[in-house]
Chains A and B, each alone.
Chain A
């Protein structure tokens, strides 16, 4: 560390070159910061998935509902602590481009999902209203909804039994705020009563989209899943029980191998980055051969010269990299806010920072190797003579 100021002086020797290189590194790590969160989100199946939650859905297809009668039998399965269920409703507000995420949820849904940040008074108001809905704050802001408003929705699938049309009107009884940044995506949803949905839709009652089970002991979840699936084996509504994380992941995987695409892009970025900074470092050492020889003449050992060049190379990358990732952390919420919730970029977490820092040191070390070795092997006489 005592060589830090020497390495710094080395970088400041040609300010233009250093600044330009740092800006290139910054661009690379800005991209890394923006994309790594996306990759992590797609590979982890959402950061929210509770370890003790499992989803029971039709084994054959997501569009096949389960019979309501299954609920009590699942509830009776040993190892099941709590359960709730929901249906996909879907629809749009005013224009088809304003697609909404709407679920019809059973009583007890917010006991199992405490991540929504629904308060006791909101829940109370929801329970007392038949046609009431809870909406997320981000969504309410986007469209300017307030508590007490009527919410007209063009439902995507289900016609209203009373009118035969897919237009529905709900009452906004509460606007919930996600308790932390991780669950901000939940603020894009609209939740209505499953009971009302069940009675009022023209496609018949007694259908459950999926059941969510909270297990008493996450360690035994595989056994519980087997027991639940055994309930409906060989029937016309066989189920598949999986952890919430796997369930979410299966949707993410269906969109495409985003993880692979992102990794390929990041790979291309870093390949070019290494070439670029490697060239910079090679130039820097080549220019300074007489200076390095002078250092050796003054008594610097071969090893300390090696360390010096290494340090300079790592410092160059770390400065640019930290600046780039910091810029990415600043930009992420801005982009998410500017898109009005259309594009929810995950915030840059400690994991991304750790990977990023490791990458910075690794890239710095790799591009520093050849120039550092060259500096170490300099022979004072030849270098001073300019040979």
Chain B
């Protein structure tokens, strides 16, 4: 009977922990702040609350005596949060860079069925027909604001690994500056159409060797001159850009990979798409660049996210056991003190609250430390990976405030689980035996 009761109590406790974790993950920050306020009010106004505040304060004051054991919680949780935040910042940075590359004002046309530019192929006739479709913005002279582009890949040494990596080369049409107004030359000058000249993206220049302005690049056994550096704040910064006709001839291509157009208005996309669809001479798919680039980031950033959460979750389980250990040791060391408090009239609730609060305070310290370490080491750090065009995409870790919030939430959750069971033991300590034992 006794055993059954104990089992039931443990099961109920487990269910309560799982439920509170579920709430913890879903509840918005504002509700959590509200909860904190209620706790503060309870401590300030009710008798039980005042007792809890007093016991907690004693616990916090004696923390320095247990600094070695307490640091286990802080460092353990800092490790979990640092790994979690860093991995999520990696996935988030990639997603942000790719999503930011597209917008609702431009559309990209690929051959039907192609999922990436490198897989696509459009003939010259296709490109001409696409640029005549309705819904495209036009310049004062009436020319369509669109660029038929050649996308190829070349081997360039990556600085970080010293090995060759696939770098994307984009041959663009004369209207590219109007189609992508965010493309800005920040060093040197623009390439001249018809010459073997290229401009290099800011990210590509950082990541790959030998792309400084003024150097020559061997492209398919031809010498190309790097004449400038551009920034665009998006995934195009991982590329080298030259004139489409010249790039195509270097790779013995006759045709294009994609056509990107500026839409007259975002609403004219439907008309543009419908016109291409109904033209029997064309077998192409049109998408807004927002759709196209968002889809590219989806899978990889999802994988990074899942991997990050799984790794951090396993680490968190380890940290929970560490926290349990520490808190059990802490209440063992304070058993007499707690029993004395109970003997002079303090209830079990204040004792319970004080132990949980102490664990969560240490967890908060750990979470803040971990997030700070992740921010200091990784924020804005540039890396590159293999993207949809089978070539390198340069992006930056993005340790955003939202991610730091996530990390702190995880930390507090670990503190809560690690503190709860020891707190219950402390609250249910038999007073007489605890007083008698040394």
| A residues whose Cβ falls under 8 Å from a Cβ of B | 16-17, 20-21, 23-28, 30-31, 35, 59-64, 90, 92, 96-97, 154-157, 159, 164-167, 203, 234-236, 238, 249-251, 253-257, 265, 268-269, 271-273, 275-276, 279-280, 282-283
Contact = CB atoms under 8 A, between A and B. Distances in A.
Given A250-B164, A271-B79, A275-B71, A283 B329 contact: yes
Nearest to A57: B155
Contact of B152 (A61, A96, A282): A61
Contacts of B324: 20
A260 B165 CA distance: 17
A97 to B, nearest CB: 8
A17 B332 CA distance: 12
A275 B283 contact: no
Nearest to B389: A63
A62 B321 contact: no
Contacts of B100: none
A60 B165 contact: no
Given A157-B119, A255-B385, A63 B325 contact: no
A49 to B, nearest CB: 16
A165 B321 CA distance: 59
Given A16-B328, A154-B113, A269-B315, A61 B153 contact: yes
Identify whether the interface residues of A are mostly helix, strand, loop, or mixed.
helix
A27 B318 contact: yes
Given A61-B152, A156-B114, 20 more contacts: A16-B328, A20-B325, A24-B319, A27-B317, A35-B311, A61-B154, A63-B152, A64-B251, A154-B113, A156-B119, A166-B111, A236-B220, A249-B163, A254-B158, A254-B163, A254-B166, A268-B83, A272-B315, A275-B71, A279-B68
A60 B219 contact: yes
18 contacts: A20-B325, A20-B328, A31-B311, A35-B311, A155-B113, A157-B119, A157-B121, A164-B283, A167-B113, A238-B221, A250-B164, A254-B163, A256-B385, A265-B83, A269-B83, A269-B318, A271-B75, A272-B79
Interface in B205-259: 218-221, 251-252
Contacts of B322: 20, 24, 272, 276
Contacts of A26: 318
B325 A255 contact: no
Interface of B: 68-69, 71-72, 75-76, 78-80, 82-83, 111-115, 118-119, 121, 152-155, 158, 160-161, 163-166, 218-221, 251-252, 283, 299, 311, 314-315, 317-319, 321-322, 324-326, 328-329, 383-386, 390, 392
A22 to B, nearest CB: 9
A26 B314 CA distance: 10
Contact of B153 (A28, A63, A90): A63
Contacts of B299: 97
B321 A253 contact: no
Given A236-B220, A273-B318, A256 B384 contact: yes
B396 to A, nearest CB: 13
B119 A63 contact: no
Contact of B161 (A30, A253, A271, A279): A253
B220 A60 contact: yes
Contacts of B251: 64
B321 to A, nearest CB: 4
